[in-house]
Amino acid sequence: MAASLLSLIITIIICCNVTAAAPNQPGGGFSVHLIHRDSATSPLYNPNETPTQRLGSALKRSINRLHRFAPKSTSSSSLPYSDVTASNGEYLMNISIGTPPFPILAVADTGSDVVWTQCKPCSSCYDQDAPIFDPAASSSYKTVPCSSNACSSLQDAVCHYKVGYGDRSHTYGDLALDTLTMGSTAGRDVAFPKTLIGCGHDNAGTFNRNGSGLVGLGRGSASLVTQLGSSIGGKFSYCLVPFGSENRLTSSMNFGQNAVVSGAVSTPLFSHVSQPTFYFLKLEAVTVGKERLAFGGSSVVDGEEGNIIIDSGTTVTLVPSDFFAQLSDAVDSQVVGGEKARDPQDFLSLCYVADYSRLQVPPITFHFQGADVELTRDNAFVQVSDTVTCLAFYGSDDASIYGNVAQQNFLIGYDLQKGTVSFKPTDCARN
């Protein structure tokens, strides 16, 4: 696909250039909790849903989210929208903004670049159950002044931002600096002064009333990871606990020295100028049992290496349709103890009627450049009903994504200074 056909996935329109001050080093590293949206501890948890319904919703969110990653023709509009459903992140973070700290429940998203929350006064805000942040009540809140010619001509004294989404959801507001605080797993709060945030006064679309905003953890200049920069040594990691209907365990996200992953296999991390938010890896092949399948996705896209995105917010793993057909045939030829069946929700295509504990499946290994990652059965298959189990892969020609089912029970470390992603099999419930 030509570079001219690609557009930025998330666009921030501001009237000045801003560099946020790097926060102070928080004592070598810290860790925070990640809450899966379908966990019993999540405010989004619906006790009336069955496990099958929760999984079905997660699978649908994966496909809605896929539109975020699919390249689109460049729009003539100066404010293009990205293709993403704004409320479809899978993991939540408790953070606070301001002085004194004001608690916010936000979606944690490796596929986004902005830290934003709804703010008073709201010219147009979606309904939110929790109180809305009032910047006037924060002694550390400071709007970013606008000094560019464009702003001068508009006689505008404050820098503004706009984030648009493909479903026409949006957040508009002021760009500001304020203290962002996270409660660490060690029981102490970690504060980062002068963090660049979006204070949204006009927010509308498919946002969930239980959430207050979003924490962007992507590779862009406005993301939290980039802003923390040298204070965390460019390192963060997470360990995703497998989710279930009554799972009250939380996953963890680690920063700085706490994010160092030892005894792991590592693969180079790639970036694409045309899609700067995302974390690209190079997948060379997938082995099913003893059958090695060369990966169908090109290892070079628009002259840039990296052919699959690793993403914490997408449930299943998505691969090109032709490769998915080869993968499915290879898996099906080696499965023992199950009878072919149809997904009751008509979403996944390779399914079996079987006792999940007795279904014998072949080992599946992802061969990333320099790193072989062997999936367990729980990484490769999901139980979609009491009697039906399906391969947790989906054929798509829009984008290839290494989803969070494949990442569960792995400690996955990102080192942006070294340019690597590391994988280590781990019992994340004990991590």
**b/e map of 153-187 (b: 16 or more CB within 10 Å)?**
eeeeebbbbbbbbbbebbbbbbbbbbbbbbbbeee
Strands 142-143, 170-183: pairing kind: antiparallel
Residue recorded with tokens 């004990």: 430
Catalytic annotation, pick one of 83, 113, 174, 311: 311
Name the catalytic one among 109, 167, 343, 415.
Answer: 109
* 30 membership: H or E segment, kind and range: strand 29-36
Taking Cα atoms as reference points, which of 37, 224, 14 lies closest to residue 114?
A: 224
Q: Is 109 in the active site?
A: yes
Which residue, 226, 138, 207, 206, is CA-closest to 174?
Answer: 138
Tell me which H or E stretch contains 395.
Answer: strand 393-395
Is residue 418 classed as helix, strand or coil in its secondary structure?
Answer: coil
| Torsion of the alpha carbons at 191, 194, 195 and 200, rounded to the nearest 10 | 120
* Sheet strands side by side (includes 351-353): 339-341, 351-353, 388-391, 381-383
Closest C-alpha to 193, from 254, 140, 117: 140
Q: What is the rounded CA–CA span in Å between residue 194 and residue 231?
A: 13
Q: Measured between alpha carbons, how far is 18 from 262 in angstroms, rounded to an integer?
A: 36
Position 271, amino acid: S
Beta bridge partners of 1: none
- 174 is annotated as an active-site residue: no
Residues annotated as part of the active site: 109, 311
